Structures are given as structure tokens and as C-alpha cells.
Amino acid sequence: MFIRKIFSAINSDPEDDLEDNGTAVAVATAKPKLKKPPLYRVIIFNDDFTPMEFVVYVLQIFFGIDGDKATQIMLEVHTHGKGVCGIFTKEVAETKSSQVNNFAKESEHPLISEIEPVDEE
């Protein structure tokens, strides 16, 4: 008897399983709404002791900025007191800021960077 049930289950018509006897419910699949992650700026602050060349080097190494653009950002830091190095997701911004701060400390420079949220418009 058990073998007959298995055999009939194996040989059953798949269309028989699709009969709903009027009880099926149609469900429309909704497209998930994806939200972009919040973004953060990495900002370097001016100090009176860190050499300008060091700031340019940091911008090139940790942010992949070319020499001309790195010099522009360094001059912005020097003249305005701070400058934006890049905009990233929170985790990436925290990592880059931490890398800059650790490298500056290891190099015995007081250079400091922080992150701040980008205002959503």
C-alpha cells in the first residue's frame, strides 16, 4: 500500500496539483522600495603645524585625488580652515577619516579629519 502511494505520487499529473477549487488568491508581487544610504563628508581641518605637502600626500594616498585637485583642496583647507576630501557612505567615511587621523598621528602631525552628514535635499 505504501509503495502504491509513492508510485502514484511520482506519476501524478502536475496539473492536478494546480486545481484551486475556487480557493486560490492572486497576489501581486510589489517591487521593493530601495532607499539610498545616507552620505557623509570627510573633512580635513587646518592647523598651523602640518606641512602643506603632507596634506596633499594624504589626499592623494587615502582619497585617490590627483595632484592638482589635491593642491586645490589643500589650499581650501589652508584659507578657509577646512576642506571636503570626499563624500561616502558612513562606514567608508569613518574608515577613511580614521586612516587619515592614524597616519597623521604616526607621522607626528596634528592633522585631524572628521565626518559630517550630507544634508538630504
Over the stretch 19-52, which tens digit does the pLDDT of each residue have? 556 676 767 788 888 989 999 999 999 999 999 9
Instruction: Compute mean pLDDT per 10 residues along the chain, 121 residues long, and list them.
Output: 55 57 72 91 97 98 97 97 97 98 98 94 61
Give residues with Cβ within 8 angstroms of 62, minimum separation 6. 85, 96, 99, 100, 103
What domains are there in the chain, each with its CATH number?
Answer: 44-117 (3.30.1390.10)
pLDDT for 31 equals 84
